[in-house]
Amino acid sequence: MGEKTNFSRTDFFRSKHAAIRTFITIATAVLFVAATVITIFLLFNKDNDSAENVMIAKNLILALLLFELAIFIGYAVWMLVDNRSEINKHVFEVTENLLKEAKSVFLVDFKSDTYKQIKDLKSIFSTKGNDISFMGEINKYLENNVYFKDRELLKEELDYSTILQKLSRRELYTLYYREIENDKCEWTEMTFSNFSPELFLISISKRGSKILEEKLSTLREEDYFALFVVDLDRNEITTIKSSPFYQESGGPGQVANFVDAMKAFSRVHQGEAKEIFENMGNIELTKQSLAIENKRIFFYKSSDRVGGNWVSITNYVLCRNQDGTPAVISLGFSKLDSYGSDRQELKLQLKDALSMAEGVNKAKNLFFSNMSYTIRTPMNAIITYTSLANNHMDNPDQVASYLGKIKETSNQLSAVLSDILDMSKFESGRISMEERNEDLREIIRSLDEIMKANIQSKQINFECNADIINKNIVCDKFRLKQAILNILSNAAKFTPDNGTIIFSVKQLSELGVATGKYEFKIKDTGVGMTKEVLEAIYNPFIKKNVFSKPGNTGSGLGMAITKNIIDMMRGEIVINSTPNKGTEVTITLPLQYADEAQEIEPITNYTDKDFIGTKLLVVDDNPISREMAINSLTEFGFVVQCVDSGNVAIETLKKANSGDFDAVLMDIQMPDVNGYEATKKIRSLNKWASKIPIIGMTGSSFKEDRISMVESGMNNLLPKPVQIDHLLEILAKYMKK
C-alpha cells in the first residue's frame, strides 16, 4: 500500500497575487516620487505665494495617500472574492472529477461518525439508512473486501487526526491498497479531500494499471536492456522497454501472449537458456517459483544469434492474488559485462538464498515432525485402548474404562486437528470474522464455567471478575472465546496445584461515539517462560519445549492462532512472564457497541423417546461413515436409510412420498454431486422436499461453506467429526417445528 501527493493550485494563487502586489508596489513608488517632485517644486518656486504652495502640497499628498489607501482596500476585497471564487471552482472541479472516475464517493463527518452516500456503484457499504456509523461500515469493508496484508495500514491512515495532518499540507492525498474481487486482488485507490475541518470527501476508485506503472517506476529502466510486465492470470506480456534481441512480444506498450512469447524466446537459445524460457512459459511453475519470495534471478549465456552475452533475468512480484499466488510480475533482462565479479556476487546471493531456504525447510520439517508425533500419540492410544477393550470383553468395567480413555484421547486428537486447520486458514488468509451483536457478560460467564469445569481435577484457585459499562458489543464470539480460552488453557496446564489463575475484564475507555476499549487480563502463578520462549511464542514452526510436561498435550499452535485472532480484531497482546513465578497476558481490544445483544437461541431439550420412529436419509459416500450413522442413530430409535451418493439421494427423494423421510443428513464432499448441488436439486423436486430439514456434514469450516449452505437451501451445517449430542439437539429442534 502506498501514498501519492497531488498537485496543488495554491502556487497558482500565490503567483497571481504576487504579480498584482508587485504592480501596486511599483505604482506606489511612482506616485510617491511624483508627489515628492511636485512638492519640492511648489515649496521652492519663488514666483508663487509660499503659503499657498504649502497648502497645495499638503492637499496633493493627502489625495495621493487616500488614492493609495483605496487601491489597497480594493486589492484586499478583490483577493478575498477571487480566492473564494477560485477555491469554490476548484472544489467543484475536484468533486466533478471524483464523481466521474470513482466507483464510490462519500461525504464523511468524522466528528459525528456519519456519512452521506454520493455515489456507490459497487455497494461497498452493506447497511442502508440514516445516521449509520461510517467507521462501522468502513471496518466491515476492510474485513470483507480488503486484502488482509493491507488492512492494518489502511486502518491507521483512516484516523481523523492523521487525515487532518496529511490534508494540512495538500488539497488531496491518495492511499493505494488491494481490494479482493472474485478471489483476485485488484489495486484500488482511496482519495481524501476536505471541504471543512470536519467534512471530508472520500472516493474509492480502481487503479490497477496506474499502480503497476508506479510500481514499475521503482525499477530503473537503465538497469535493463529489455523490460516486460507479465500478467500471469491473463497470460499477457506487456513490453516496457524493447530490445532487438527480444522483439517477439512487440514494441513498448504492446501486449502479447506470454506463453507464446516464451516459446519464441526459447527457440533462439540452446541448452540451459532454452530450458529457462521453457520453464518460465509454464505459468503454474512460474507461480510456484515465486510463491514465497518476491524476487527471483535466472542466469544464462545467450546464443550467438542474440549477442552471445552472459545475461541475468530478474523476476519481481508486483501484485499477488488473495491466496498469495503471484498475479503480475516484471521480467528484466540485464547484461553482465564483468562475468567473474557478477558471477561471484550471484553465487553469494544464491548461497544466502539457499541458506535461508534450508532454514525455513528445517523449521517446517521440525514442525511436521512435531505435528506427526502430536497426532500419532493419541492415535496410538486409541488403537491400544481399542485392542485392550477387545481383549477384556468379559470385564464390562474394564471395557468402560478403556472406552472412556478412547473418547478423551479422541477429543484431544480432534482439538489438535482443529488447530492445524485453523492455522492453515490464517496462513492462507482464508479466514474472516463473522461479527454479530453479543452480550460480553454472557461470554465472560461462559468462559468462567468452562474454566471451572477444566480445573476440577486440580487444586487451583480460579477467580473471574468483570468491570464493564457497555456489555452489548459487536464481535465474533467464537473467535474471541477461542483466543481467550487458548490462554486460559495454557494457564491451567502450567499452574501447579494450590496455584492461582485470575481472569479479569475491564472497560478502559471510549474510542469515539460507538466504540470502547476493553482489557482482558489472565494472570497465573505457574511455571512461567524464559525470554527465548517468549521470543518464539507466536511462531507456529517452533515447539515451545519449556511447556513440555507429562500429561500436557496440544498442537503448540494455540498462541499463534490467538495472535492472528487478536490482530484481525485490531487489538494488541502483551505477555510478561518470569520463570518459576508466573505469567501475565494482557489483551486490549477495540469493540464496537451494539444496541442490544442478539437473542440467544434456546437449547432444545429432548429425551431418547422423542426420536423413536423418526425416519432419516443418510447420504455419505464413505461406507464406514454410513455404518457409524446406522449404529449410533438406531440406538435412539431412528429409522435410518443410507445411500452412497448425491445422485442416488436425489432419485430416492424423487420417488418418495411425503412422510417417507423426516430429515436428511448430507455429506458435503462426494465424488459425483456434492452436498450443496444435491440439496439445490432436492429443493426443486416438489413441495414437501422443498421443506424437509437437510443438515450438512463437512470436514471444512470456512466462511464460504456457510455461504454455500445458505445458498443451497440447507438448514444447518455440522463440522466433522459429528458430535452425536450436537446432532440430536439440532434434529430435535427441527422435529419439534
Q: What is the pLDDT of residues 530-561, one digit of tens each?
A: 888 888 788 765 555 544 444 455 566 778 88
Contact 517, 511 (CB under 8 A): yes
- Cβ burial 623-638 (10 Å sphere, 16+ → b, else e): eebbebbbeebeebeb
Give me the phi and psi of 181, to 5 degrees please: -145, 120
> Coil, helix or strand for 489?
helix
What is the domain class of 102-206 according to CATH? alpha beta
Q: Longest Cα pair distance anywhere in the chain, in angstroms?
A: 150
Contact 213, 116 (CB under 8 A): no
From CA 411, how far away is CA 155, in angstroms rounded?
39
Grid cell listed for 459: 487444586
Grid cell listed for 591: 469493540
From CA 208, how far away is CA 93, in angstroms rounded?
24
User: What's the pLDDT score for residue 410?
Assistant: 77
Which residue do the cell numbers 494563487 mark?
13
Q: Which of 213, 241, 227 is nearest to 319 (CA)?
A: 213
Continuous segment of H or E residues that includes residue 377: helix 339-391
User: What's the pLDDT score for residue 547?
Assistant: 45
Q: What angle do CA 563, 568, 570 make, to 5 degrees?
A: 95
From CA 560, how far away is CA 24, in angstroms rounded?
71
Grid cell listed for 294: 518476491
What is the domain class of 608-736 according to CATH? alpha beta
pLDDT in tens, 250-276: 677 677 888 888 888 888 777 788 888
Q: What is the 3-state secondary structure (H, E, C) of 271-320?
A: HHHHHHHHHHCCHHHHHHHCCCCCEEEEEEECCHHHCCCEEEEEEEEEEE
From CA 292, how far away is CA 7, in angstroms rounded?
38
From CA 419, how far away is CA 561, in angstroms rounded?
8
Give me the phi and psi of 357, to 5 degrees please: -65, -40
User: What's the pLDDT score for residue 5?
Assistant: 38
pLDDT in tens, 89-147: 555 555 556 566 677 888 888 778 888 887 776 666 766 666 778 888 888 888 888 87
Q: Which CATH superfamily is domain 436-593 in?
A: Histidine kinase-like ATPase, C-terminal domain (3.30.565.10)
From CA 183, how far away is CA 196, in angstroms rounded?
38
From CA 297, how far away is CA 309, in angstroms rounded?
16
CATH architecture of 359-425: Orthogonal Bundle (1.10)
Contact 98, 193 (CB under 8 A): yes
Q: Which CATH superfamily is domain 213-337 in?
A: PAS domain (3.30.450.20)
User: What's the pLDDT score for residue 11?
Assistant: 43
Any idea how long the chain is? 737
Residues of the chain with pLDDT under 50: 1-14, 84, 87-88, 338-340, 546-551
Averaged confidence pLDDT in the chain? 76
Sequence letter at residue 657: N
The pTM of the full predicted model, rounded to 2 decimals, is 0.45
Q: What angle do CA 279, 282, 284 make, to 5 degrees?
A: 120
Which residue do the cell numbers 480460552 mark?
485
